Structure 1
Amino acid sequence: MVSEEVIKNEYPLHWLVWKNEHKLLEKALLDKKNDKEKKDCRGRTALMLAVTLGHLESTRILLNHEANVNCENKDGWNVVQEAVATGDPELLHIVLERRDIQRYTCRMAGIPDLLQKLKEAPDFYVEMKWEFTSWVPLVSRMCPSDTYKVYKQGSNVRIDTTLLGFDHTSWQRGNRSYVFQGQNGSATMMEIDHDLKQVYCEEMRTTDESLGVLLPSEDTVSQRLTNPIVTTFIDTDKISFERNKAGIWGWRSDKNEIVNGYDCKVFGASNVELVTKTRSEHLTEHDKARSKNLRTPLQNFLGIAEVGASQTNSDIPKEEYSHNTNPCNITPEEYFDADIELGDRDIGRPKEVNVKVQKFKANLWLCENYPLSLPEQILPIVDLMAISSSHFAKLKDFIQMQLPSGFPVKIEIPLFHVLNARITFGNIFAMDNPVPKVSTIQEEDRLTCILDDSLFQCPSGYVQIGNASTDSRRQYSNEEEDDLLQFAIQQSLIESGTEKEEVDIWEALRGQKPSRPETPVNTEERELQRAIEASLEDFQGLSVSDAQDSPSADLDYDLQMALIISKKEREKEEQNRIDEEKMLEQALELSLKEK
């Protein structure tokens, strides 16, 4: 077991945090030899350790010395999430405030570098079509689609979009352009609202931390403390790519498809797992009861694997550890000794973790001779958009893996348990469909894209209304945008037309139909209802009486119909496959007889 002296020498800041010696910690941070981002043997920085232990003053001092709030521990939880887990509203407030400041300054600092990278790459115009699809019946028809029009000239970038976001129960549509202008290591961003003919201008400055940051409200803090901590991520460790096959088994060849005029190899990404981890140790019994509806038998019906419900690190009663952030009485000598296995014992409140895993098959359409370069031209654009869009952030994570060679003309990736995104690149250089102010010049063996300078300037007649960073418009973080999108989908599924308490996707699927005037049921309707019941019996292995008592009995009428149609389609496809195999066998027999 390591001694106190060894700990002090190896982890001087961590030691002072453990002892909550915040005055000595202040002095130690002034010594530049002490690395405030160093991780201990358990994978925690000094700030992560202070927050997990609930040491408010040590946390405040580390934040004042600009310790990184956006780091994660070895289990993938970030500092904000660990602050929520303590249940301390003051601690959470200061962590959120510093998190927002750091995100803003990081965003400002990164954009000029991205624009400088783009300056060295050839100019281009391309369209990125986003289509949101779902494996849950009926959800897809409620999901939006959008086409991002991307213009790049030198160190200037313009991105046009019509899907702006979500406002509780509806998708927000509009006509916006985001223009980034880079010059001499600095940058300006314009958000152009073509509907209102207004322009927000923002100078990318990192020196004034007060710019662009709204202090977290009491409602924001309260909402986090009364709801489960949720993180969703794509597990990339086991993903492997392989060519999709075409034709009948035994005679299969590698699959190729034409996408927007380009011959593409089709790859499948297997072992793609979308993991959602939920923690609830900070919740009161009332909050837990309210959130229990998140887990219903309908999850199993729709194929969600649920692992480790209510895993806890300790059997200590809640009352005894509610204010104890080291309930297992781990000594510093134990904690800082990498050779000692702590097992389920840990500092902080005993964790109550619920894990849901959904397996997906992502698909890629890769072209060897596409006119654009993924790392030089497209990745910087994705980086720009990932700053403020969780969808682009997930796309960025996916395409930064070791993809097979070629440009991904088309990509299908999971976004949530119920939602996939299909991204297709097209109309390269506006050659398929003309675009104003975009033209091409054929130069020997290459095609050059020419863009008009006015594309990247404030349109004449538009009103500039100040700095975009200082107005009152709400800027959402990626996880908040995820929550809003999930909520918008859920609300779209409820047909009652009234604003209800927030529900999860499974409750929404079981939402009651709006009441209708009673009318005599004719014979045809009765026969149709019998057919639905019989089909659902066969599909779910339930009797009609059992189904009426199960959660699936509350499924919307349209959902029941969709399930029946889906099942019939699968049966039809299977029968076609069998018929095709029989025909092939007959053809082989005939050819052998002729020989």
Structure 2
Amino acid sequence: MAASQQTASPEQQYPIHWSVWHNNLRTLTSQLESKQYDLEEVDPRGRTPLHLAISMGHVECAKSLLRHGADANKENARYWTALHEATCTGDPELVQCVLQHRDYQRFMNRTDGIPALLKKIQEAPDFYVEMTWEFTSWVPLVSRMCPSDTYKVYKNGSMVRIDTTLLGFDNTKWERGSRSYVFKAEEACAKVLEIDHDAKVVYSETIKEITHSPNLDLLLPSSDQVSARLTAPVITTYINTEKIEFERVKAGVWGFRSDKVETVNGYECKVFNASNVQFITKTRTEHLTAQDKKQMKKNKTFNPLESMLGMAEKHSEKSPHAGAECIDINNPCSITAEEYFDSSVDLEDRDIGRPRETTTKVQKFKANLSLCHDYPLTLQEQVLPIIDLMAATSAHFRKLKEFITLQLPAGFPVKIEIPIYHILNAKITFGNIFSSDTPVPRVSVIKDTLQRENEDGVTVFETVVTSCAVDDTVFDVPTGYRVIGEGSHHEDRYMDQDDQLLQFAIQQSLSDTEPSTDQPGDLNFVEALQTFSKESHSPHPERRAVHLNRTMAEQDFETQLNMALQMSTQQANTRQPTQEELERREQEELEKILALSLVEK
């Protein structure tokens, strides 16, 4: 009886982790082949077996886990992915292996995910709605010059079409145009169309059910891609959801205050504040050589907005054993397996893995929500699947998905404000539901007559819009458009050119407030974009850019903002200006560049 009440040993509780810890490849392989264990189980320190293998430097164990399907995209308790952790080891072989499997898994997940989403969408009622995105900032000048766009969403059966006009950033101008993204479920497959209405070109992709695994070798990253990661800081961004609180906004004067209610596009909504919203950016540099860090310092960009306002709380930390000589660099604190797997043991600042060098920036936001209880759309059945479709390729929709999947108060978020990056917010408003406010071609409003009693008890009849009918032709390729891409292989579309651009952009935005000096060999942002653009037209499949929904608008707006800001510091002046001249020039240049960045082509 006493024996049965004893706590199971770590080896029994975490069998896969235990084999990884002891680098027992033979036992691990046997366990994986039995398919009896959960490869994504998290140990007491928040790591999956794959994260543990990478942190311990057990490369063969990591490879075996990846071959058996361990998730390379999953984050650990500190919001680092397997690729982040692999990069921080400084091991090029490990980085190449993890990156290859991560891209393979992304491709497979998208191949499985879109048909499943379309099937889910098919079961929901048809609708038309417009989502207006307004980008704002707490920084003076920037807020009123941020772009906006309206996404028009059509849904009929298992077909979805999303129209947009804000395409991206081209040199010094915001790029406007007319694009449609169409998702159609067909027999045993799904079709994705990107329709460029200006060029009258359609990029077509057919996603079929995979009956055999694609060739993993096609996704093997080049040595240049691996080297680029190993010579750049590792960065993760996330919204801290632990401290978020939702509370009703009050209206009125003192003594007569009540819960605030506002009308948004004809619907009465309760207004909430989401307080303690923290947008966190963490950067790690322990894998960088002294030369890499020196190069980073050369490339730091002077950001006048950051110097004027102090954009975020900043905290730098090093592991206690960072820089010290260790017998085992992957276990510098000499933690035993029994200590590691015992959740009651407080390891304090002790941990496994290469000693970390981390910089954390925290930007606090106060988000606002307007929630309606009788909105005609349902969040879970109709709207979330659409957001899921767009989140696969749009950073903005990913941020929206992260926020609205929180435990929000009851009601449909007709208007919601969320942080996008630590300098920008986005306000999303739903409107023109069922095209009831403004007529939309090929969308027919469906009205019903309702009977009710008025205040005097008299029966009255009221005509209300209840739904709409979306014509099938909305989802067709327009006559005269040229279709390309049909039947080609699209594995190369999931390479991570966008990740590299995002790394560069955030690196620039996190630079300390020091003037940059142009040195031979330095790569500025414009040159980086040109380099990636050249690679995107390379005939080699592994270096070809993503065509489908890979515009600069989907990279991130901080990239675009920092590009404009950087341009304002690239004109050298041999005479030392006075402080007054400096302040006036800075203000004039900032206004000029931000205004120029929003001029439409």
TM-score interval, normalised by the smaller of the two chains: 0.7 to 0.9
1:87-236 matches, within 5 Å, as 87-140=90-143, 142-166=145-169, 171-183=174-186, 186-207=189-210, 208-210=212-214, 214-236=219-241
User: Quick check: 1:284 aligned with 2:289?
Assistant: yes
Counterpart check, 1:391 vs 2:396: yes
In the TM superposition, what are the counterparts of 1:468-487 in structure 2 within 5 Å?
470=490, 482-483=502-503
Task: Give 1:463's aligned amino acid.
Answer: R
Structure-2 residue corresponding to 1:588? none
Alpha-carbon displacement from aligned partner over 1:283-333 (angstroms, at most 9, x marks no partner): 122323444547999747424343431x12223526x45982222222223
Which is worse superposed, 405-414 or 209-218? 209-218
- 2:416 aligned residue: 411
User: Deviation per CA, 1:544-593, whole angstroms, max 9, x where unpaired?
Assistant: 9xxx7xxx89844455999xxxxxxxxxxxxxxxxxxxxxxxxxxxxxxx
Q: How does 1:182-581 map to 2 (within 5 A)?
A: 182-183=185-186, 186-207=189-210, 208-210=212-214, 214-292=219-297, 293=300, 299=306, 301-309=308-316, 311-317=317-323, 320=325, 324-445=329-450, 447-465=466-484, 466-467=486-487, 470=490, 482-483=502-503, 501-502=524-525, 511-512=568-569, 514=571, 555-557=586-588
Superposed CA RMSD in Å reads: 3.8
Matched position secondary structure for 1:110 = helix
Q: How far is 1:162 from its partner?
A: 2.3
Higher relative contact order (CA 8 A, sep 6+): 2
Q: CA deviation at 1:360?
A: 0.8
Structure 1 CA distance for aligned equivalents of residues 404 and 130 of structure 2: 17
Alignment deviations for residues 73-132 of structure 1 (CA, whole Å, 9 cap, x no partner): 222211111011101111111101111111121122122222222222211111111121
1:49 aligns to 2:56 (yes or no): no
Distance 1:475 1:246, change over 3 A: farther
| Structure ID, larger Rg | 1
> CA 1:305–1:516 in structure 2 vs 1: closer, same or farther (change >3 Å)?
closer
Residue of structure 2 aligned with 1:29, choices 32, 40, 48: 32
CA contact (8 A) 1:191 1:468 kept: no
Q: How many pairs does the alignment contain?
A: 525
Residues 1:210 and 1:233: Cα distance change in structure 2 (over 3 Å) = same
Structure 1 residues 248 and 483, CA, compared in 2 at 3 Å: closer, same or farther?
A: farther
Aligned-residue offset at 1:411: 1.3
Return the offset for 1:364. 1.2
Structure 1 residue 395: Cα displacement: 0.6
- Which consecutive unaligned segments of at least 5 residues does structure 1 have? 522-528, 534-543, 563-595
Q: Is the 8 A contact 2:133 2:149 kept in 1?
A: yes
Q: In structure 2, do the counterparts of structure 1 residues 140 and 479 end up closer, same or farther at CA, with 3 Å as the change threshold?
A: farther
Q: Conserved in 2, the CA contact under 8 Å of 1:170 and 1:488? A: no
User: Alpha-carbon deviation of 1:342?
Assistant: 1.8
Contact 1:187 1:204 in 2 (8 A): yes
Separation in 2, partners of 1:297, 1:159:
37
Give the 3-state SS of the residue equivalent to 1:191 in structure 2.
strand
Shift of the alpha carbon at 1:71? 1.7
Contact 1:123 1:153 survives alignment (8 Å): yes
Alpha-carbon distance, 1:166 to partner: 4.4
Aligned-partner residue type, residue 269 of structure 1: A
Q: What is the match of residue 13 of structure 1?
A: 16
CA pair 376-73 structure 1, distance change in 2 beyond 3 A: same
User: Would the alpha carbon gap of residues 7 and 269 (structure 1) be closer, same or farther in structure 2, given more than 3 Å must change?
Assistant: closer
Instruction: Read off the aligned partner of 1:417 and give its amino acid letter.
Output: H
Structure 2 counterpart of 1:159, one-letter code: I
Q: CA separation in 1, counterparts of 2:563 and 2:11?
A: 52
- Residues 472 and 30 of structure 1, relative CA distance in 2, 3 Å threshold: closer
- CA distance in 1 between counterparts of 2:479 and 2:510 reads 41
CA distance in 1, matches of 2:64, 2:491: 30
For normalisation by structure 1, the TM-score amounts to 0.78
Structure 2 counterpart of 1:571: none
Compute the displacement of 1:469 (Å): 5.4
Specify whether residues 316 and 257 from structure 1 end up closer, same or farther in structure 2 by C-alpha distance, changes over 3 A only: closer
Give the match for residue 565 of structure 1. none
Q: Would the alpha carbon gap of residues 468 and 268 (structure 1) be closer, same or farther in structure 2, given more than 3 Å must change?
A: farther
Deviation at 1:381, TM superposition (A): 0.7
Cα offset, 1:363, TM superposition: 0.9
Residue 282 of structure 1: CA displacement?
Answer: 1.1
Pairwise CA distance, 1:508: 7.1
Does structure 2 conserve the Cα–Cα contact (< 8 Å) formed by 1:131 and 1:423? yes
What is the identity, as a one-letter code, of the residue corresponding to 2:204? C
Distance of aligned partners of 1:473 and 1:70 in 2 relative to their CA distance in 1, 3 Å threshold: closer
For 2:164 and 2:121, the matched residues in 1 are separated by: 20
Cα distance change on mapping 1:339 and 1:447 into 2, 3 Å: closer
Q: Report the Cα distance in structure 2 between the residues aligned to 1:146 and 1:560, rounded to whole angstroms.
A: 22
Unmatched runs of 5 consecutive residues or more in structure 2:
1-5, 451-464, 527-558, 594-601
Matched residue type, 1:312: K
Deviations 1:117-155 (A, max 9, x none): 222221111111112111122333553322111000011
| Residues 179 and 507 (structure 1), Cα distance of their counterparts in 2 relative to 1, 3 Å cut | closer
Distance 1:264 1:214 in 2: 48
| Pair 1:244–1:191, CA change in 2 (3 A) | same
Distance 1:352 1:553 in 2: 38
AA partner of residue 78 (structure 1): T
Deviations 1:473-506 (A, max 9, x none): 5765886675577689999xxxx9x996249978
Q: Helix, strand or coil for the counterpart of 1:349?
A: coil
Provide the C-alpha distance between the structure 2 equivalents of 1:224 and 1:439, rounded to a whole number of angstroms: 51
Q: Give the AA of the match of 2:214.
A: S
The residue number in structure 2 matching 1:585 is none
Secondary structure at the aligned position of 1:77 is classed as coil
Distance in 2 (CA, whole Å) between partners of 1:411 and 1:356 is 24
SS in 1 for 2:72: coil
* Separation (CA, whole Å) in 1 of partners of 2:408 and 2:508: 32
Q: How far 1:215 moved relative to its partner?
A: 3.9
SS at match of 1:415: strand
Contact 1:200 1:468 (C-alpha < 8 Å) held by counterparts: no
**Bigger shift: residues 16-25 or 371-380:** 16-25
Q: 1:507 to 1:454 in 2, by over 3 A?
A: closer
The alignment partner of 1:103 has SS state of: helix
Of 56-65 and 466-475, more deviation after overlay is shown by: 466-475
Q: Distance in 1 between matches of 2:305 and 2:468?
A: 52
Question: Any conservation in 2 of the 1:166–1:485 contact (CA below 8 Å)?
Answer: no
Distance 1:92 1:490, change over 3 A: closer
C-alpha offsets along residues 271-291 of structure 1, whole Å, 9 cap, x if unaligned? 111111111111122323444
Distance 1:157 1:296, change over 3 A: closer
Structure 1 position 449, deviation (Å) = 0.6
